[in-house]
Structure 1
Amino acid sequence: MAPSDLNNLHDIHQPVAISHWPLAPGWWFLIAVGLSVALITALRWHRRWKRTAYRRAALAELRSATSTAEVAEIMKRTALAGFGRAEVASLTGHDWIQWLRRSTDLELEQQVADDLSLAIYRSPQPPQPPQEALLRFAGAWIETHRDTTSPQQADSC
């Protein structure tokens, strides 16, 4: 190779850098799917959060309950909010306890059942403080109760 040939060589030209914009159609599709999934998830979470607001309110009231009658009242109001008046309002005594048993997998001790069924009929003076077993059952029931009519809905909550 002659020395003059080396003088005629030029630098290698780099190709133009590939632009990241505009995006390829596949990326637009992936972004649309991702946003759709995020939106659907957020809407479902929000609906569930609104649907269970009565549970959160009942648990807050339960923490400040000072009597067995108050715990029984909170549970009845929670049942009314969750299941409606047609199903719950007429339940008292043994029927109320049976309904509570059907609406949860929790074990309802006989003493707790007796306290719940009789608490609202006892004399309010002096108020009887709630037993720990009653508070535990009430809190667990509020968190975990399910529809007593359709087993499929119990799995979705």
Structure 2
Amino acid sequence: MQQLRDIHDIQSVPWWPLAPGWWLLALAILLLAFALWRWRAFLSLRIPIPGLTLGSWRWDAAGALRDLRRRARAGQASKTTAGELSELLRRIAMARLGRPACAGLTGNDWLDWLETHDPQGFRWHERGRILLDAPYAPAGQIGDARLLDLIEAAEGWVTTREPTAIPVRWFRARTSSGV
């Protein structure tokens, strides 16, 4: 009888150190967070992830241009489309290069400036003349295909990454240099 011992409980499982599976999960989460942070600019125009991209001027401008293209294809008046495109283009240019660079330009000076600073090399002076003529043209004389080409050229201003001259506000968003 003296050789018998009392029954002992099993020791509880400690919470630390973590099992290898938890370490792998933590590493995977960190790698995913780093990848999202690293490619946030690429994702901001292609995949709407509200927590990461909402608020950049590029995001808002790309959405406004997509909406303008949709309305132009749906039959919105060409004069209205041209006016809205002109306004959006000026706002995009000011967001990219700052208000002092382009805010006071009108007419041919505006088209020359657009052609000089366009990141895609679009021929604004030749093909963008519709922006100057649209307010005075008779209804139905403005080609919708030409407006869609201009919308596509304006998207080039949004998608091409270059550091901005100064941080600016556009719509309700804030940007920092290079974003």
Q: TM-score, normalised by structure 1?
A: 0.58
User: Higher mean Cα deviation, 76-85 or 55-64?
Assistant: 76-85
Structure 1 residues 115 and 98: alpha-carbon distance in aligned structure 2, compared to 1, 3 A threshold: same
Q: Which amino acid aligns with 1:39?
A: A
User: CA deviation digits over 1:50-79, x for unaligned, max 9?
Assistant: 421321222212332321463243242243
Structure 1 residues 41 and 142: alpha-carbon distance in aligned structure 2, compared to 1, 3 A threshold: farther
CA distance in 1, matches of 2:159, 2:61: 15
Larger Rg: 1
**Between structures 1 and 2, the one with greater helix share:** 1
Counterpart of 2:132? 117
1:97 aligns with 2:111: yes
* SS, match of residue 139 in structure 2: coil
Structure 1 residues 143 and 28: alpha-carbon distance in aligned structure 2, compared to 1, 3 A threshold: same
Question: Alignment partner for residue 19 of structure 2, among 23, 42, 56?
Answer: 23
User: CA deviation digits over 1:97-128, x for unaligned, max 9?
Assistant: 123221231432654222123323x15x5353
Q: Runs of 5+ in structure 1 lacking a partner?
A: 1-20
Question: How big is the shift at 1:38?
Answer: 1.8
CA distance in 1, matches of 2:92, 2:124: 24
Contact preservation (8 Å) 2:79, 2:142:
yes
Counting matched residue pairs gives: 129
Question: How big is the shift at 1:145?
Answer: 0.8
Structure 1 residues 109 and 97: alpha-carbon distance in aligned structure 2, compared to 1, 3 A threshold: closer
Structure 1 residues 129 and 115: alpha-carbon distance in aligned structure 2, compared to 1, 3 A threshold: closer
Between the aligned residues of both structures, percent identity stands at 19
Contact preservation (8 Å) 2:130, 2:142:
no
Question: Alignment partner for residue 126 of structure 1, among 132, 139, 163?
Answer: 139
Question: Alignment partner for residue 154 of structure 2, among 137, 142, 149?
Answer: 142
Question: How big is the shift at 1:35?
Answer: 0.6
Over aligned residues, Cα RMSD in angstroms? 3.7
Question: How big is the shift at 1:92?
Answer: 1.3
